[in-house]
Structure 1
Amino acid sequence: MFIKHITLISILTLSVFACKEDKKPIKQTDISFKKEGELSIFKLVDSTSLKIDIEIADTDFDIQTGLMYRDSMKKNQGMLFVFDDETERYFYMKNTKIALDLVYINGAKKIVSFQKNAKPFDETSLPSNEPAKYVLEVNAGLTDEWSLTVGDSISYSE
């Protein structure tokens, strides 16, 4: 009986190790930018404007996923989150690999606040502090480089 138990334990141990060795690393699918529209930002101070290509997040899945798992984004690209209502928004950087600036925009399409240089993978809440209907995510540092301010406005087309 003792030998049968040792044999059974040996077989189970070998099968566990065999299963572990057979596992192959799972390769994540690359998620690339898909242009779904263009967004213009109109500066209040000097009436200049700039344009970027955007992906639009307007479904529950797209809103919840956002820019998670992306390795990079070009300077002329961003993601625009479009919500049905205007309320205070809270974002975070879970599973987001790239540092971002978040631009909170109200229903009148005017910038109401920013969260700059949001750190990758940080789950700290990033509130809008004002009611917002839209949120634009761009690479960290661009809101300063573009000298965006509260009161600047946007328009976009799909």
Structure 2
Amino acid sequence: MAFAGSGGRLGRRLLLGAPFALAAGAALAQNSGDIQFQRSSLLIETGGRELKFDIELALNDTERARGLMFREKLGPYDGMLFDFYQEAPVSFWMKNTLIPLDMLFIAADGTIRSIHSNAVPHSTDPIPSKFPVRAVLEINGGSARMLGIKPGDKVKHPIFGNG
């Protein structure tokens, strides 16, 4: 999935997806074309345990525009973290995204505010955050439910000042 905007960047409603497309540099990501996504890891605290995910970071408009578009697979504990640097309402879509994804909408303090499960590949329907968020984590569709991840759980990563 990629990020798409309605004219401005932050402070206005942000859309994520492909053709409105707006979606740093360590390792070359699989199937990411010429974009090199910085890699990191994060923890999700849920149900008294911590789940570790290896992630790619989408930190600028170009990276957010590409997102996970054109990927044919994603590892079971892999994902992409879209950082918007400040809280704002955001929305994503699935154009040019080949696999179903769960989207975890995360507040500035790392709290998961909402989850959209099993986003439909190739759909151009908007998927709004429902609340202003700092970041969005995309993981394999169905993983949040399978792993017991829910709103109110905490994401630990340096962008939230807790990782």
| TM superposition score category, shorter chain reference | 0.7 to 0.9
**1:36 matches 2:39:** yes
- 2:158, 2:53 → 1: CA distance? 11
SS in 1 for 2:145: helix
| Matched-pair identity in % | 35
Deviations 1:97-137 (CA, angstroms, capped at 9, x unpaired): 01100000000110000111101100100011011111000
**1:51 matches 2:15:** no
Which has the larger Rg? 1
Equivalences for residues 67-86 of structure 1 within 5 A: 67-86=68-87
Deviations 1:50-108 (CA, angstroms, capped at 9, x unpaired): 10100000111001110001111110100000012201110000100011000000001
Deviations 1:31-63 (CA, angstroms, capped at 9, x unpaired): 1696710010012xx321110100000111001
Change (3 A) 1:148 1:114: same
SS in 2 for 1:144: helix
Report runs of 4+ in structure 1 exceeding 2 Å deviation.
32-35
Normalized per residue, the structure richer in helix is 1
- The amino acid that maps onto 1:114 is I
- 2:107, 2:37 → 1: CA distance? 25
- 2:57, 2:93 → 1: CA distance? 18
**1:64 matches 2:68:** no
- 1:40, 1:74 → 2: CA distance? 16
Could you state the TM-score of these two structures normalised by the residue count of structure 1? 0.76
- The amino acid that maps onto 1:132 is V
The alpha-carbon deviation at position 156 of structure 1 amounts to 2.1
Q: Which residue of 1 aligns with 2:96?
A: 95
> What 5-or-longer segments of structure 2 have no aligned partner?
1-29
Contact 2:101–2:120 (Cα < 8 Å) also in 1: yes
SS in 2 for 1:135: strand
- 1:42, 1:74 → 2: CA distance? 19
**RMSD between superposed Cα atoms in Å:** 1.8
- 2:72, 2:158 → 1: CA distance? 26
> What 5-or-longer segments of structure 1 have no aligned partner?
1-29
- 1:35, 1:65 → 2: CA distance? 14
SS in 2 for 1:148: coil
